[in-house]
Amino acid sequence: MRLNKLSLFVALALSPLTGSFAATVYSSNGTDLDLYGSISAMGATNKAAQSIKTSQSKKNLNNTILTRVDFGIAGRTKINDTVYAIAASRWTMPATDGNDSDFITKEQYVGIDAQNYGTLTFGRGDNAFYSVAGVTDVFTQLDFNTNDHYVFGDYQQSQIMYSLSAMGIDFRLSAQLAADDVADSNVDLKNGAAFSLSTHLLNGIGFSYGLSYYDLKSDDSSDGSSFYADNILKMYSRADNDYDFAYSVQPSWKIDKGIAVTYGNFGEGLYVATNATVTKYEKFTHHLYSYEAIVNYTFENGFGTTLGYAIKRFNGANIQSLATLGFYYSLTPSFKLFAEGTLDINSKPERYYSNRQIKNMCIGENKALIGAQYLY
């Protein structure tokens, strides 16, 4: 689940699905500076700990206690009556040993908020396609991530994003410039682009459509370091070490197309959301299809529950198929308890992933965790 603040000048790059808190630490002469974030602690099964992005280096077979801090800072300065200069940055700080103890940058951008004329930002964040993929991104920790939008990570660098909301329509357009080792995936991008168009009707129903394109650089080695080598060997039924062949057919571009339908607002009574995405890679034998759906209800007393189901398909098989159930209770507006569990439902990951990928990504594994989170 994305950490958000209510201020409009950071709402562009952060998910609109949930609210959080922000403390204004400076306000003078048209300039505001806010701090926001959360601190989480949770007890997790081994597979749940491995699947959480900030804990993927965990290799032991024991259950564990995890802690994580999300910290953000955002600024806004008035240029004139209609234009504001804006900037924001957010980091995740997992309490683990080794390289994982480093700060992990999430959003980081500067830009201009021209209000009725739209917002333009430069830096790191999600691309415009998140308006489709993000409608089901509501769990505290065990998010689906079956949508191929997330294959290069939640956030991407070197982006220009334009957003305009007017008369019930939200339009977003993003362009990505050259970037290396995107989200530590060993994938380098030449460039990319995405757009989305969303609307929210008076009866509470919302629709979104989006498309994203990635122009991928070729890996200049044939030693198996290509990001998709294992998948290519699987789909072409080649030997596990035939990396010369995998290199010869590695994709040079990727396209996502998707739609989403929602009802209500997350955290305000009933919220229902579903999305569907088709992904095409150059030289892949088949398309990838992903479908996600969630139903959430939040009561006035602060208790809420979410039930979700997601599948990812390739060549007629559910290479991922999972159901996730979550509960949370807000004792105060800034403190909540939560529990989440994921149940695998007859996934067939071996139809697309290698054994190494299945193990590293914990595909086909049941997961559970319970924890507490403080929002500030």
Residue 217's pLDDT is 82
Answer yes or no: are the C-beta atoms of 118 and 85 closer than 8 Å. Answer: no
Say which residue, 18 or 337, is predicted with more confidence: 337
Q: Distance between CA atoms of 44 and 55, rounded to whole angstroms?
A: 11
Residues 6+ apart with CB under 8 A from 235: 284, 285, 286, 314, 315, 352
Strand partners, 21: none
Residue 5's pLDDT is 32
Extract the runs of DSSP E, i.e. beta strands, from 201-266. 205-216, 253-265
Q: Distance between CA atoms of 197 and 173, rounded to whole angstroms?
A: 9
Tell me the percentage of the chain whose pLDDT exceeds 70.
87
Answer yes or no: are the C-beta atoms of 243 and 230 closer than 8 Å. Answer: no
Q: Is residue 240 a part of any domain in this protein?
A: yes
Q: Is residue 330 a part of any domain in this protein?
A: yes
pLDDT surpasses 70 at 6: no
How confident is the prediction for the chain on average, in pLDDT? 86
For the four alpha carbons of 312, 366, 361 and 229, in that order, the dihedral sign comes to negative
Q: Is residue 80 a part of any domain in this protein?
A: yes
Q: Is residue 3 a part of any domain in this protein?
A: no
Q: What is the pLDDT of residues 223-282, one digit of tens each?
A: 555 788 899 999 999 988 888 888 888 899 999 999 999 999 999 999 999 999 999 999
Which domain, by its residues, includes 354? 8-375
Q: Distance between CA atoms of 356 and 180, rounded to whole angstroms?
A: 24
Q: Distance between CA atoms of 63 and 362, rounded to whole angstroms?
A: 14
Residue 261's pLDDT is 97
Q: Distance between CA atoms of 35 and 333, rounded to whole angstroms?
A: 17
Q: Is residue 1 a part of any domain in this protein?
A: no
Identify the band that residue 7 occupies on the pLDDT scale cut at 50, 70 and 90. Answer: very low
Q: What is the pLDDT of residues 128-178, one digit of tens each?
A: 999 999 999 999 999 888 999 999 877 888 899 999 998 889 999 999 998
**Gyration radius of the chain over CA positions:** 21
Residues 6+ apart with CB under 8 A from 211: 129, 194, 195, 196, 255, 256, 257, 258
Q: Is residue 334 a part of any domain in this protein?
A: yes
Q: Is residue 324 a part of any domain in this protein?
A: yes
Average pLDDT over residues 297-302: 95
Residue 305's pLDDT is 97
Extract the runs of DSSP E, i.e. beta strands, from the chain. 22-28, 31-44, 64-78, 84-94, 104-113, 119-125, 156-166, 169-176, 189-200, 205-216, 253-265, 268-281, 288-298, 303-314, 317-332, 335-344, 367-375
- Residue 85's alpha-carbon distances to 11, 158, 172, 177, in angstroms, are 14, 19, 19, 22
Say which residue, 297 or 252, is predicted with more confidence: 297
Q: Which amino acid is present at 127?
A: N
Average pLDDT over residues 16-35: 72
pLDDT surpasses 60 at 295: yes
Q: Which amino acid is present at 109?
A: Y
Average pLDDT over residues 300-322: 97
Strand partners, 108: 89, 124
350: which 2 tokens? Answer: 């071996």
Residue 60's pLDDT is 57
Residue 178's pLDDT is 86
Answer yes or no: are the C-beta atoms of 310 and 345 closer than 8 Å. Answer: no
Of 286, 287, 239, 297, residue with least CA distance to 264: 297
CATH number for the domain including 287?
2.40.160.10
Average pLDDT over residues 346-359: 92
Question: What secondary structure letter does DSSP report for 217?
Answer: P
Is pTM beyond 0.85? Reply is yes
Q: What is the pLDDT of residues 70-81, one digit of tens each?
A: 889 999 999 998
Task: Report the number of distinct structural domains present in the chain.
Answer: 1
Q: Is residue 2 a part of any domain in this protein?
A: no
